[in-house]
Amino acid sequence: MKKILLTCALLFVSNLFVNYVFAADLVVGKPAPDIEAKLIDTGDTFQTAHMRGKVVIVNFWATWCAPCRAEMPAIHAYLEKHKAEGLEVLAISMDEARDLPAVKKVAQQYAFKVALKADSNIKGLGRIWRMPTTFVIDRDGILRKNGHVGDAEITMAELDALVTPLLVK
């Protein structure tokens, strides 16, 4: 029994370390890792690697996260204002799959694409340990905002300051 517990503990700690290493490897100004997610409304696959030529905001949120819900209207308004300039937003819900109806209810209020973490490959971002968390990727696939660093929440002013210059062709 002790061997099983020790093995489980080692696997848990090594998993934390691997995720930490990946998160530490994220460097603003370097290529962003590919993110792949199955969209909840269409079932289509969203891949950041296929978004070259567009600016992509990837936001992690949950239905039970009050700060997440508070920033969603700003992200929605920003997308509506800049969609024609080549902006894409992917909002990945950290909710469990069993909470899909609640996720869909929130998502229907917004124009951005939504996926569940369970249906996403986000390993290259490391462990998402706080919410909301937002990453920004420029037209060339370069990471411009590392969601693990700085303020967790994003405001309209921050979107204007960070993303608007990236939209200029």
Q: What is the pLDDT of residues 48-92, one digit of tens each?
A: 999 999 999 999 999 999 999 999 999 999 999 999 999 999 999
Q: Report in angstroms the alpha-carbon separations of 90 from 31, 93, 148.
A: 18, 10, 17
> Are 40 and 115 contacting, i.e. CB atoms less than 8 angstroms apart?
yes
The model's pLDDT over 86-143, given as tens digits with 9 standing for 90+, comes to 999 999 999 999 999 999 999 999 999 999 999 999 999 999 999 999 999 999 999 9
> Are 59 and 91 contacting, i.e. CB atoms less than 8 angstroms apart?
yes
Q: CATH for 2-167, among 3.40.30.10, 1.10.600.10, 2.60.34.10, 3.30.390.50?
A: 3.40.30.10
> Are 127 and 19 contacting, i.e. CB atoms less than 8 angstroms apart?
yes
Give me the sign of the Cα torsion angle 116, 78, 25, 65.
negative
Tokens of 3: 């061997």
**What are the extents of the domains in the chain?**
2-167
* pLDDT of 21: 41
Whether the full predicted model's pTM is greater than 0.75, yes or no, is: yes
The model's pLDDT over 139-160, given as tens digits with 9 standing for 90+, comes to 999 999 999 998 889 999 999 9
Helix ranges (H only) for the chain are 2-25, 66-82, 100-107, 156-162, 164-167
